[in-house]
Structure 1
Amino acid sequence: MTVTAPEVPAKGRSLWDDARDRLMANRAAVTSLFVLVAIALLSVFGPMLSPHDFDTVYRDYVKVRASLQAYPRAEQVEPGFLAALKRARLSVESYRRDGDSVVASVSSRREIDPRAVRYVDRSNLFRNAQLSDISADGKSAVMKADIDHMHFYFGTDSNGRDMMARTFIAGRVSLTIGLLATIVAISIGVLYGATSGYLGGRTDQMMMRVVDVLYSLPFIFFVIMLVVFFGRNFVLMFIAVGAVEWLDMARIVRGQTLSIKRQEYVQAAEAMGVSDSGIVRRHIIPNTLGPVVVYMTLLVPKVILLESFLSFLGLGIQEPMTSWGVLISEGARNLQGAAWMLIFPSIFLTSTLFALNFIGDGLRDALDPKDR
């Protein structure tokens, strides 16, 4: 007589398992996720790997074009070297270029000060300047310096700062403010709206009147008040924006909750004695995630634009720190003479927005309970 082992019941699939599989099957959403991760990694690690600091000013490279070739160009070397020697009050008797070095015979009516090499080193085109073959009377010598090759792949701005490093560091600021402010707004709005819609009655009316009162407060007045009390800092930016933007989220979730709480599974949970908090947490909030995700993808770019507006008014990000919105604003003012100042920050910003939209669409379809 053989004894058969009892059959192990098949493990059920949760909403999150189904949502993950449907999301991974959406090619546009998966590709956008990789793009968003790549932009985030560039924003985090790009400034560390960049050969230039985001706040370093190169006076000799103001508004230079984006290029894969190294600067200075051949036609810039001689005028730059002669200009540096002129500032040092030295007369040039002869000049030649020796590979990656420049050599000039110089003279002066007075004895040449050895500190004259500083005028050459201060130029962004040269380094390691040195005097040699100084004459007995000290009025003539040979000045030699190495050409300092630099790459500006995204060009430079109107102050001579590397646009690639500034675009990467701006990504840190814009993404951080956008994501953190969105998380603050979503967390407050979802809990507030779901609680208000589920409880209903006078509680719902009172909670919505609070939202209406907050709606009547001007956003700029609220931000200025926070700046006066707490000072201007980076953390204040996403707290101020997130503390205002949750109002729309609360109304959206409340409207969804009013229809969801009439569903049979919610009534069944009430009949089984599940607490109000348990119903809101396990049934109401998970079934509102579709609209929440879609709104979140719209809120992140909105927050980035709000941050740019506040920075323009002097209430947000200040120099030398920057953001994508600030860079785009500066690029728009210099569009005719320096289009690269607008192109590269715009590419990063629009790529981020497109990626968020595709990811939002994919998550909306994946989290829709009707598609399970």
Structure 2
Amino acid sequence: MSVSDTTAPVPAAGEGRSLWQDAWRRLRRNKAAVLSALVLAVVILAAVFGPYVVPHAYDTVYSNYVRTPASLEPYPRADAIEPEIRAALRRARVDIASIAVADGVATVEVTSEREIDPRVTRYLERSDLFTNGAVQRLSDDRRSATLTADVQQFHFYLGTDGNGRDMLARILVATRVSLAIGILATAVALVIGVTYGAVAGYFGGKVDDVMMRIVDVLYSLPFIFFVIMLVVFFGRNFVLMFIAVGAIEWLDMARIVRGQTLALKRREFVQAAEALGVENAGILKRHIIPNTLGPVVIYMTLMVPRVIILESFLSFLGLGVQEPLTSLGVLIAEGARNIEGATWLLVYPAITLALVLFALNFLGDGLRDALDPKDR
């Protein structure tokens, strides 16, 4: 007699989660870090695509709108159009009988003791406020005429600077430059620091002593003098900034990775790879460096705001990017010089910089908590 198999199948064990999966789940529960990531995403998108959307270029000068306050209403205001028309026609040797403005078109009645040249409209077009000047009516004796011109209206939502350039466009470009310098300098520090620290920590001994003494010597060099020397020899430019900053910031990264490597090289999986005959380069590439990425990612998010602040400080001293290109440090320096008469030149760039720095720091704190192995 056969006995039927009534044994129930053993349920499969739940799948394990890797360190990165577990860190991602805990990071999503950190509302401050998630909100900071969203803010950073919005800021980056605005910095990348914003200059192509705003109506003004960051380097376009509007001489009639120097230090114009921020406003949602278009410029020029209605009460400013008539004085601009009178100023434009002052050299035309005509008498203005009346001025009317409607639907963005200015209509001017003029008279003169002698014949009026139809080219009188060129005086209006010399102004940045008026275009498409035309003579709509000219009397038989050519001593009175009706002139029309389109009034150019501009929106300056964050005002203009001391040269008449749109602050919104300049802040977007400045944010792009500052973020690019922060990210590129951090990338340079990441490549140099991780490689240098991993090699020093893994080989140890005299190799480690020599490599870390080089780091100590570089630490002793005054950074500001190093930047001044680069500026003297190569001039101020965008590439120089992130090379100079990244060439110094990698020192901290190297020390962090070296400390992690000293602990990792004694782990069983590294010793097993050595016993199997894996080359040193393969061990560093497959076992050492990947296991140091947790602290490295955290440090990267904290390094970017440090680099941005450092770039802002150098730009404040006049060692940053050159005009007409700008950065948040350049705008803040300009705003500080004009704070008494034009506070918006300082307030808006400072708010932008503070927003970026707060978001990066909160995101760094969230990544630190999510990747801390003691909290798993």
1:11 to 1:274, Cα distance in 2 relative to 1, 3 A: farther
Q: 5+ residue gaps in structure 1? A: none
What are the superposed Cα offsets for residues 17-55 of structure 1, whole Å, 9 maximum, x if unpaired?
112111112111111111000000001111111011111
Q: 1:303 aligns with which of 275, 295, 307?
A: 307
1:228-307 equivalences in 2 (<5 Å): 232-262=236-266, 275-307=279-311
* TM-aligned CA deviation for residue 252 of structure 1: 2.6
What are the superposed Cα offsets for residues 301-344 of structure 1, whole Å, 9 maximum, x if unpaired?
22223333444555431111111111111111111221111122
Residues 1:85 and 2:89 aligned together:
yes
Whether the 8 Å CA contact 2:316–2:332 is kept in 1: the answer is no
* TM-aligned CA deviation for residue 259 of structure 1: 4.1
Whether the 8 Å CA contact 2:88–2:123 is kept in 1: the answer is yes
What are the superposed Cα offsets for residues 80-111 of structure 1, whole Å, 9 maximum, x if unpaired?
12111114443323223334322222234554
1:313-352 equivalences in 2 (<5 Å): 315-352=319-356
Cross-structure match for 2:22: 18
Q: Identity percentage over the alignment?
A: 63
Q: Which 10-residue stretch deviates more, 117-126 or 49-58?
A: 117-126
Cross-structure match for 2:58: 54
Q: Quote the Cα distance in structure 2 between the aligned partners of 1:350 and 1:58.
A: 29
Whether the 8 Å CA contact 1:109–1:139 is kept in 2: the answer is yes
Q: 2:178 aligns with which of 167, 170, 174?
A: 174
Cross-structure match for 2:104: 100
Cross-structure match for 1:63: 67
What are the superposed Cα offsets for residues 47-83 of structure 1, whole Å, 9 maximum, x if unpaired?
1110111111111111111111111112211111211
What are the superposed Cα offsets for residues 101-146 of structure 1, whole Å, 9 maximum, x if unpaired?
2222223455444443233223233332222322445443222222
SS in 2 for 1:40: helix
SS in 1 for 2:58: coil
1:45 to 1:31, Cα distance in 2 relative to 1, 3 A: same
Whether the 8 Å CA contact 2:70–2:160 is kept in 1: the answer is yes
Q: Which 10-residue stretch deviates more, 232-241 or 255-264?
A: 255-264
What are the superposed Cα offsets for residues 257-312 of structure 1, whole Å, 9 maximum, x if unpaired?
33444556655665666554454445544454444334323322222233334445
Whether the 8 Å CA contact 2:237–2:322 is kept in 1: the answer is no
Normalised by the size of structure 2, how large is the TM-score? Answer: 0.87
Whether the 8 Å CA contact 2:336–2:346 is kept in 1: the answer is yes
SS in 1 for 2:161: coil
Q: Which 10-residue stretch deviates more, 348-357 or 109-118?
A: 109-118
Q: Match of 1:293, as an amino acid?
A: V
Q: Quote the Cα distance in structure 1 between the aligned partners of 2:366 and 2:276.
A: 34
Runs (4+) of structure 1 exceeding 6 A deviation are 1-9
Normalised by the size of structure 1, how large is the TM-score? Answer: 0.88
Cross-structure match for 2:369: 365
The alignment yields a C-alpha RMSD, in angstroms, of 2.9
SS in 2 for 1:133: strand
Whether the 8 Å CA contact 2:189–2:253 is kept in 1: the answer is yes
Q: 5+ residue gaps in structure 2? A: none
Q: Quote the Cα distance in structure 1 between the aligned partners of 2:230 and 2:73.
A: 47
Q: Which 10-residue stretch deviates more, 86-95 or 318-327?
A: 86-95
Residues 1:30 and 2:31 aligned together:
no
SS in 1 for 2:51: helix
Q: Match of 2:134, as an amino acid?
A: Q
Q: Match of 1:179, as an amino acid?
A: I
